[in-house]
Chains A and B, each alone.
Chain A
Amino acid sequence: MASKNINLKLKVWRQENAKSKGQFENYDLKNISTDSSFLEMIDVLNEQLVGENKEPVAFDHDCREGICGMCSLFINGQAHGPDSLITTCQLHMRKFKDGETITIEPWRVGSFPVIKDLMVDRTAYEKIMQAGGFVSVNTGGIPDANAIPIPKPNADEAMDAAACIGCGACVATCKNSSAMLFVSAKVSQLALLPQGRVEASIRAKNMVAKMDELGFGNCSNTGACEMECPKGITLAHIARLNREFLCANVKD
């Protein structure tokens, strides 16, 4: 596709800090290459703002290649914008039309308070991980590669679950602010493999308890999370988490 330059109108959420009220600001941006990424477009905006002696827009980003999970943004009503299976840093300006108005908001989740502008505090995810998203084993020497056979489908599914980068798009897009897709990916990734299997029950219980305590909502199976997840985590993992959790409680 031939590259061209487009002009845009941006409606960006600006908020001084967690306590302040915040509001939308409108910006005009000229000559944005359709080959640039969405975050590069915001870089251009920030340069323009700095040139005008104004405060640049704060937003999260790190790897800019879709693997770290830092970038966020609710773009034109969708988490990670209008494309599927990608993060905001992988979204390109060719997805937008010349003269289009783009509305940019931070994740709106009670448990992810806004830090500034478009940055939200996702420490709640860390807390859920600390509650059980690990295996407690002494590492020791490396075992023989074929000593523990793992069925290929299990290995594949664990790998699919492990693709979760903890970006928070699932919660951000969920009308209930439920963290079930994230938690289910973390639980699945370990429960399907022999080392993780040992603690699967207690892990499911502890991670769900933490998720509830932190104020995430109850899953009502709308499936929005799966549609917006940049890594294609599916609802099948939520079913597995439910199974794990219910069995763990039946055992007690």
Chain B
Amino acid sequence: MNVFLKSSIGKKLLMSLSGLFLITFLLVHLVANLFLLGGDDAYNVATHFMDTNPVIQIMQPILAVGFLVHIIYGIIIELQNRKATPVKYKLVNQKESSKWVSRNMIWLGLFVFAFLVLHIANFFVKMKFGEMAEVNVDGVTMHDSYALVAELFECKIFSIVYIIGFIALGLHLHHAFWSAFQTIGLSNDVWRVRLSVLGDIFAVVITAGFTIIPLKIMFFG
């Protein structure tokens, strides 16, 4: 087992499975966020549900581990790959044979990570541990998460940083989705095209879905 996880394909399997896990998480997170479009009460109820739902609470540390595995292995793989190519070409025409995104997954990933740190500091920490205003919806007292989100997104610079973060994530997913299936061997010349199209649709849904919220608050309050 140990030998297996140290092999090149074993390491890639961990990248792929952790990546697919993060993809599932993104979907759940997006669904929760879209309640914002339904107004303050709808969003507060959804957030309250997430805060008190045992499954979600159990998944939180697992999610953190998923991120750690993905990031640590991403960095290990990148460093090994650099070592495998000690002398660089003086003239190299890479764009003839591969896409920029596929060659820069580590930078897109690290950018997403930087954004993630900012994101956790701004929302997660405040919602979990910070002092928050409370509201009463249908007789249940809960945090006024909507107010927190709305306040942060009223700052234009913050919203723009947030949107750029999601564009980077969308680009990461443009390569990642098909790549994850290729790594576990679930692809061939026919499915590659199908999975790439599916991956692009997913990337657009994620980027558009998450950026629609700051856009709405910025332009419509």
Contact = CB atoms under 8 A, between A and B. Distances in A.
Contacts of B131: none
Contact of A227 (B83, B84, B96, B178): B96
B77 A218 contact: yes
Interface stretch (A47-55, A189-197, A208-216): A208-216
B81 A227 contact: no
Interface in B29-46: none
B182 interface: yes
Contacts of B105: 220
A242 B91 contact: no
Main secondary structure of the interface of A (DSSP, over half): mixed
B52 interface: no
A17 interface: no
B97 A227 contact: yes
Interface residues on B, range: 35 or more
Contacts of B97: 78, 173, 223-224, 227-228
A110 interface: yes
B80 to A, nearest CB: 6
A246 B184 contact: yes
B175 interface: yes
A223 B189 CA distance: 12
Interface residue tally on A, bucketed by range: 35 or more
B2 to A, nearest CB: 11
A221 B84 contact: no
B219 interface: no
Contact of B192 (A236, A244, A246): A236
B85 A110 contact: yes
Contacts of A111: 84
Interface in A55-106: 74, 76-78, 82, 103, 105
Nearest to A176: B81
B86 interface: yes
Given A74-B89, A110-B85, A218-B80, A240 B99 contact: no
A30 interface: no
Contacts of A108: 85, 87-89
A249 B179 CA distance: 21
B53 interface: no
Interface of B: 3-4, 7-13, 77, 80-81, 83-94, 96-99, 102-103, 105, 175, 178-179, 182-189, 192
Interface of A: 24, 74, 76-78, 82, 103, 105, 108-111, 173, 175-178, 180, 208-209, 211-212, 215-224, 227-228, 234-236, 238-246, 249, 252
Given A175-B85, A242-B184, 9 more contacts: A78-B97, A105-B89, A208-B7, A211-B8, A224-B97, A227-B96, A239-B186, A240-B185, A244-B185
